[in-house]
Structure 1
Amino acid sequence: MVHSWDPGGATESKSKLYIYLRFLRIEQTFFSLPMAYLGAFVAIKKVPPLYILFLIFLSLFFLRTAGMTNDNLADREIDARNPRTRTRPLVTGKISVTEAKVLIAVSLAGFFASAYFVNFYAFVLSPLVALVVMTYPYMKRYTAFANYHLATIQGLAIFSGAVASLGLYVHSFTSLFEGIPWFFVLSAIFWAVGFDLYNHIPDAEFDKSMGLHSFAVLLGNKALPFAGLNQVLSVVLAFMGDVFYGLGPIAYIATVLHGLIMAYAYYLATRGNFGKAFYYNIYSSVVLGLGVIFDIILI
């Protein structure tokens, strides 16, 4: 049995603040933060300046707010037809289209301003990062690789964190890109494909009827094993990152836990509990991110 759930839904009896927090799925922003900090710490193998850590948080918050709002705005008519997503605030009218457009504009301005104060490289690359984030909701109209588009956004969190700290010390784009912890960027991408499919598998029949694309639609019953395969690759790449970047035992333990939590999430998904599977999968990234960060701080 597939359990019905929606991380972006909000009941009408709640306050406006609660509705906005659910609309933005604010908890996922904080779950993404350790991955961005992982990139910042691994890239320079030490603690970045505190102001850089604060600016990483601001940049992530603003860009994710813009992206999530844009996603809801682009999908509002689709969400209104899907029984699982009919309580989303843009569908119910608890947040208006005008409010959403203003929130996107303000958030993008905040993102670009934050990137400007991070460093030159972050600011120059910020339009490309924003483009990837803001085009995501339209990709599922055309290709199943929309799942990898969403996953690339998660990889960009690590990439962007690395750019924020490396940009203080390098003097060319060549040196910058050589210093990016690519094993962890790729690990995050394959990890995110799994949790995105946990979001799409319950909607596979609806998406198919609407002409939308995902690997859940493309692969049918094989979509869940495909999600598991991506997550196995995530763990392998994280271990390769531990070795290649010379990390210590805390990072290795965190990587093992990352894999075990994802395995449990997969088990929950096989039981049809995609809501819990989705969140346990996110918890696994928090464990990995914090483990790598503490490894660099303490060892």
Structure 2
Amino acid sequence: MNWDPGAASVNKGKFYTLMRFLRIEQTLFSLPMAYLGAFVAIRGIPPIQTLFLIFSALFFLRIAGMTNDNLADREIDAKNPRTRTRPLVTGAIKVWEAKALIIIGLAGFFISAYFVNIWAFVLSPIVALIVMTYPYMKRYTAFANYHLASIQGLAVFSGAVASAGLYYHSLYCVLKAVPWPFVIATIFWALGFDLYNHIPDAEFDKQMGLHSFAVLLGDFALKFAGLNQLASLILDFLADFMYNLGPIAYASTIAHGLIMAYAYFLANKGNFGSAFYYNIYSSIVLGLGIDIDVLLGIPKFF
């Protein structure tokens, strides 16, 4: 119950503290999913410049979003025994530093989007708004869990817009090229692992008047997480078929499902920390597998 992905040990230096504060490794875990969207949208490999700009946009938006999340929750985190060692709570990261990081992150995101293509830039304020409003939603509704999950889905969506926008001149055509089944599947998958964060805090959140499906559903919350991830897996297989993907894509989808199942087993045993990280690993397996499948163009099953 003491696990916290945002915790930072003291006396390990500013760089370490900053990396824990931003949970920067999760940016790298999201990258294969962004590239999944980019590859599947055009059934090919985008230019190297576009791939770099996708990484840049994801990296900077992660900085802004995670910093804003920590800043909005710092008083709540200070009262929660599980989150009391977060850098903004302990003072290892100052409030003014956090505000500066938000400005840097948003500026870097919008500049990256500008250089991707016109449609990425046009849609960037909507993406930023969804990311930056998340920490306030849990004050009002349990659907804040889906709000967070939609941010993960935006990685797939944004990658698709980045590549499709190079080839289509209308927003309609760009949005049509987005692999929506993968976007929705990613949302269902992320809802599951987000609940692994919230279930240990259900009693605390209830006392603080915060909302989540962990609070709303009580003992059924873990099953709800599992059902969402089962729906995610079904949609992933459907998307593999719809987009005529090959054996590597199907194999990676199976592996993705097996890792999710093991993560659910760990969560059921109360090991929410390991369950959380195994879920992140599952997205890497799925994203990389489909990226490689598109890259190699191996003959399809159907």
The TM tier, using the shorter chain, reads: over 0.9
* Residue 174 (structure 1) shift: 1.0
CA distance in 2, matches of 1:94, 1:177: 42
Q: Of 182, 185, 188, which aligns to 1:184?
A: 182
Deviation at 1:22, TM superposition (A): 0.2
Equivalent position SS for 2:3: coil
Give the distance between the partners of 1:4 and 1:103, measured in 2 at CA: 27
Tell me if 1:259 matches 2:257.
yes
Distance 2:64 2:283 in 1: 22
How far does the alpha carbon of each residue in 1:166-210 deviate from its partner, in whole angstroms, 9 at most, with x for none?
000001111111110000000100000001000000000000000
User: What CA distance in whole angstroms lies between the structure 2 residues aligned with 1:89 and 1:71?
Assistant: 13
Provide structure 1 residue ranges, at least 5 long, that are not aligned to the other structure. none
Q: Which of residues 178, 193, 196 in structure 2 aligns to 1:195?
A: 193
Q: Which residue number in structure 1 is paired with residue 300 of structure 2? A: none
Identical residues among aligned pairs (%) = 73
| Cα distance in structure 1, aligned partners of 2:72 and 2:175 | 33
Letter in 2 for 1:288: L
Q: 1:41-99 CA deviation, whole Å, 9 max, x = no partner?
A: 00000111000000000000000110000000000000000000000000000000000
Aligned twin of 2:2: 4
* Structure-2-length-normalised TM-score: 0.98
Identify the residue that residue 109 of structure 2 maps to in structure 1: 111
Give the Cα separation in 1 of the matches to 2:158 and 2:48: 16
Matched residue SS, 1:84 = coil
Q: Does 1:172 align with 2:170?
A: yes
Match of 2:283 in 1: 285
RMSD (CA atoms): 0.5
Q: Secondary structure at the match of 2:82?
A: helix
Q: TM-score of the superposition, structure 1-length normalised?
A: 0.99
Equivalent residue pairs, number:
297
The residue that corresponds to 2:216 in the other structure is: 218
Matched AA of 1:236? I
Amino acid at match of 1:131: L
Q: Does 1:46 align with 2:44?
A: yes
Which residue of the other structure, out of 222, 236, 239, is the alignment partner of 1:238?
236
Match of 2:80 in 1: 82
Find runs of 4+ consecutive structure 1 residues off by over 3 angstroms. Answer: none
Equivalent residue in structure 2 for 1:209, among 207, 210, 221: 207
Amino acid at match of 2:267: A
Cα deviation per residue 1:204-249 (whole Å; 9 max; x = unaligned)? 0000000000000000000000000000001000001100000000
